Amino acid sequence: MADTEQSSAQRTEAATLRTPIVAVLGHVDHGKTTLLDTIRGSAVSEAEAGAITQHIGATAVPLETVAEIAGTLVDPADFDLPGLLFIDTPGHHSFATLRARGGALADIAILVVDVNDGFQPQTIEALEILERTGTPFVIAANKIDTVPGWRSDAGAAIQPGYEAQSPRTRKQTDERVYELIGRLSDEGFSADLYWRVQNFTRNVGVVPLSAVTSEGVPDLLAVLMGLSQRYMRAEMEIDTTGAGAGTILEIKDERGFGATVDAVLYDGRIATDDAIVVGGIDGPVVTSVRALLRPRPNAEIRVEKRFDRVEVVEAAAGVKIAGPELDAAVAGAPVRVVGDREVGEVIELVEAELAELAVTTQEHGVVVKADTLGSLEAMMAALEEAGVAAVRAEVGAIAPRDVTVASTGKTEQEQVIVGFNVPVLPSAAELLETTDVRLFRSDVIYTLIEEYTAYTQEITASQQATVLDKIVRPCRFRILDDHVFRQSNPAVVGVEVLAGTLTNNRAVVRFDAASPERVGTLSGIQHQGEDVESVRAGAEVSVAIDGPTVGRQIDEGDELWVELPEAHAKVLELELADDIPGDELEALLQYVQRQRKREPFWAR
């Protein structure tokens, strides 16, 4: 719904249906932008750097265009909606917290999945975002034309063509599509081919299609229009005379205008000379509209070179806003028209939304940088889920101050900068070379988390290995019968290692009742005639023990133990129990149990 300050009476008086906002999400190279190109008849994907969408963008597709593409599946006379407004996302993290009316900016979403690649990291991320924001969605099972033997019918509805494929091709197609449906089930979503879905509020519709041949695209548009008209009509009702409300997609410098913001207006109207409040890096920014630039129908706002300069824009629409001080605005933040309200009232509204978008940092942790507020919040949520704290979290390029903050981390794990889709300033790059700060950068959040987690695990393993090298390891061993080679000075006997690790130069004890009695010190271990420093459970070796005499302090068949210092036993039990072999842990626990019979709090 629109801002709560607009009364229901005002809304009813001037209510009209706005354009549904459709987010297009999916893994890299699964065909999001190509699909939109097919719908709008453009070639945006060909102009992308590396053929990958780097920024969020918006494209308005009028009902007439929808009906032209969908053919008999969409009759304009059956719809009151003006068309569809598509939001194309780079990795959909910007979409994660583009908020409006308490939920996601989008009313409905398309999750594009390559039928050959199946679910990938960003596919799962998208599902989590859609579930968290409560956004209804459909699956576009793309690249159906690449199934071996597939007979394409360019631009046609998919169901007849799908069912008319040869048995072999149909079998392979079903396998791919139902693999996606199975993965959706694993993620908690009930789904089926859209023509088999009876209730779209309970089940996700899957639309097989090809963004290249455009077959299935008519079905996708028909499903989007039908769902919007039937299930979301109430959400589409807006007051077109009310104060406009929108969300910033991107900040750009435009020749002749200076800093401008690309925004999606989802409620009300905005006009030239309107006073507006936008969310900025350091809080709300109060300014005025110098000019409104609107892309032509079916044109993508990010790459459009020609704009129509207009006096008024009504929701829902993508619009470029020019005005003073917009260079302080931040992507993902709100934009609000003041209208007949007090400026202070609108500032409070924007502050409240910014507070919702704010991230919480800790007294210690890594430094986090992201390209938008939405990306930043998505990053922080993923880090929190992984148990990673952040000491600093901001939007923008990695700067020298970020390196300085990271360098003050108390541990190697904290001396880290994690950057999502952001550049490194040259001065920061130079500073990085002179410090121990580690930088992780990627445009996929999963990749960042996995790389950082692997890094911390490597450090932890190295630290634990160092501790284990210095700590006395537990061991239980037995003197073998008929294996006494020397009785004393030193005693040399054959032993079997029953549990743990037997290491040279360790004190040896024998438990007499509940008390350990030190009998000597290992001064040599030989395995198959070779001197060794340590052996593991199951080995039979000869050992030299300084101190005892066989037949007096020790004897054949005796069970002996490596003496464990109490501090070492405590570290092993409380910190390293998961990092030592099971038999070694068994020896440790048996040793500790014997000690605690005489002293209950030993090594606690």
Domains of the chain: 21-231 (3.40.50.300), 245-356 (2.40.30.10), 366-464 (3.40.50.10050), 475-598 (2.40.30.10)
SS3 category, 199: coil
Distance in angstroms (rounded) separating the CA atoms of residues 525 and 539: 11
Amino acid at 174: D
Q: Stretch 192-201: mean pLDDT, rounded?
A: 93
**Could you tell me which residue, 517 or 97, shows the higher pLDDT?**
517
Q: What is the mean pLDDT of residues 402-418?
A: 94
Structure tokens, 560: 């002996």
pLDDT of residue 437: 95
- 305 vs 511, higher pLDDT: 511
Judge whether 7 and 271 are in contact, CB under 8 Å.
no
Q: What is the dihedral of CA 31, 32, 38, 40, to 10 degrees?
A: -160
Q: What is the pLDDT of residue 556?
A: 95
Can you give the pLDDT at residue 15? 57
Question: What is the spatial distance between Cα 559 and Cα 564, in angstroms, rounded to a whole number?
Answer: 15
Query: Order of strands, edge to edge, in the sheet holding 366-370?
Result: 390-395, 366-370, 416-420, 438-442
State how far the Cα of 251 lies from the Cα of 239, in Å rounded to an integer. Answer: 27
Mean of the per-residue pLDDT values of the chain: 86
Residues 6+ positions from 206 with CB-CB distance below 8 Å: 138, 139, 141, 177, 180, 181, 191, 192, 193, 194
pTM exceeding the 0.85 threshold for the entire prediction: no
Between 462 and 183, where is the model more confident? 183
Q: Residue 371 has what pLDDT?
A: 82
Q: What is the pLDDT of residue 102?
A: 41
DSSP string, 210-271: -TTT-TTHHHHHHHHHHHHHHHSHHHHEEETTSBPEEEEEEEEEETTTEEEEEEEEEESEEE
pLDDT digits (tens, 9 = 90+) for 140-186: 999 999 999 999 999 999 999 999 999 999 999 999 999 999 999 99
Say if CB 452 and CB 418 are below 8 A apart: yes
Residue 21 near residue 264 (C-beta atoms within 8 A): yes
Report pLDDT for 535.
94
Phi, psi of 421 (to 5 degrees): 55, 40
The pLDDT of residue 513: 65
- Which residue type sits at 246? G
3-state secondary structure of 11: helix
- Asked if pLDDT for residue 438 goes beyond 90, the answer is yes
Residue 509 — pLDDT band, cuts 50, 70, 90?
Answer: very high
> Reduced to 3 states, what is the DSSP secondary structure of residue 370?
strand
Cα-only R_g, the chain: 34
Q: 8 pLDDT exceeds 70?
A: no
Q: Quote the CA–CA distance of 86 and 20 in Å, as a whole number.
A: 9
According to DSSP, residue 565 is labeled P
> How confident is the model at residue 14, as a pLDDT?
45
Q: Provide the pLDDT for residue 306.
A: 62
Of 162, 165, 200, 206, residue with least CA distance to 183 = 206
| Residue 101 reports pLDDT greater than 60 | no
Q: pLDDT-based confidence at 3, cuts 50/70/90?
A: very low
pLDDT for 5: 41
User: Sorting pLDDT into bands at 50, 70 and 90, what band is 495?
Assistant: very high
pLDDT, one tens digit per residue, over 28-58 is 778 888 898 888 774 333 333 332 222 346 7
CB-CB contact of 270 with 246 (8 Å): yes
Cα separation values, 547 from 137, 252, 467, Å: 77, 82, 29
Q: For CA atoms 585, 586, 591, 593, give the dihedral sign.
A: positive
Which pLDDT score, from 0 to 100, does residue 296 have? 64
Residues 6 or more apart whose Cβ sits within 8 Å of residue 542: 483, 485, 492, 493, 494, 495, 525, 526
Per-residue pLDDT, 54: 29
Name the percent of the chain lying above pLDDT 70: 89
Which stretch, 14-23, 190-199, 326-335, has highest mean pLDDT? 190-199
Query: In the block, which residue shows the tokens 């978008």?
Result: 357
What's the confidence (pLDDT) of residue 39? Answer: 82
- 233-286, pLDDT tens digit by residue? 888 888 888 999 998 888 888 888 888 998 889 899 999 999 999 998 888 999
Residue 13 main-chain phi, psi, to 5 deg? -65, -40
Write the pLDDT tens digit of every residue in 464-487. 777 767 889 899 999 999 999 999
**Is the Cβ–Cβ distance between 300 and 264 less than 8 Å?**
no
Contact 422, 369 (CB under 8 A): yes
Q: Give the three-state DSSP class for 31.
A: coil
Q: Quote the CA–CA distance of 312 and 333 in Å, as a whole number.
A: 21
Q: What is the Cα–Cα distance from 293 to 276, expressed in whole angstroms? A: 16
Question: What pLDDT was estimated at residue 7?
Answer: 39
SS3 percent helix, strand, coil of the chain, rounded to 5, is 35, 30, 35
Q: What is the pLDDT of residue 104?
A: 59
Q: What angle do CA 138, 139, 142 make, to 5 degrees?
A: 140
Residue 581's identity, in one-letter code, is P
Percent of the residues in the chain that have a pLDDT greater than 90, as a whole number: 55
pLDDT digits 0-9 by tens, 213-235: 999 999 999 999 999 998 888 88
pLDDT surpassing 50 at residue 72: yes
Cis geometry, peptide bond prior to residue 316 (ω within 30 degrees of 0): yes
260 token code pair: 């401008």
Instruction: Check pLDDT > 50 for residue 326.
Output: yes
Query: Is 119 in a helix, a strand, or coil?
Result: coil
Quote the CA–CA distance of 272 and 288 in Å, as a whole number: 8
- Pairwise CA distance, residues 376 & 477, whole Å: 56
pLDDT at 53: 29
pLDDT band at 331 (very low <50, low <70, confident <90, very high): confident
Residue 403 reports pLDDT greater than 70: yes
Q: Output the CA torsion sign for 32, 35, 41, 47.
A: positive
Token pair in block for residue 576? 């390293």
pLDDT given for residue 4 in this prediction: 40
Burial class from Cβ neighbours inside 10 Å (0-12, 13-18, 19+) for residue 137 reads: buried
Token pair of 445 as six digits: 């959040």
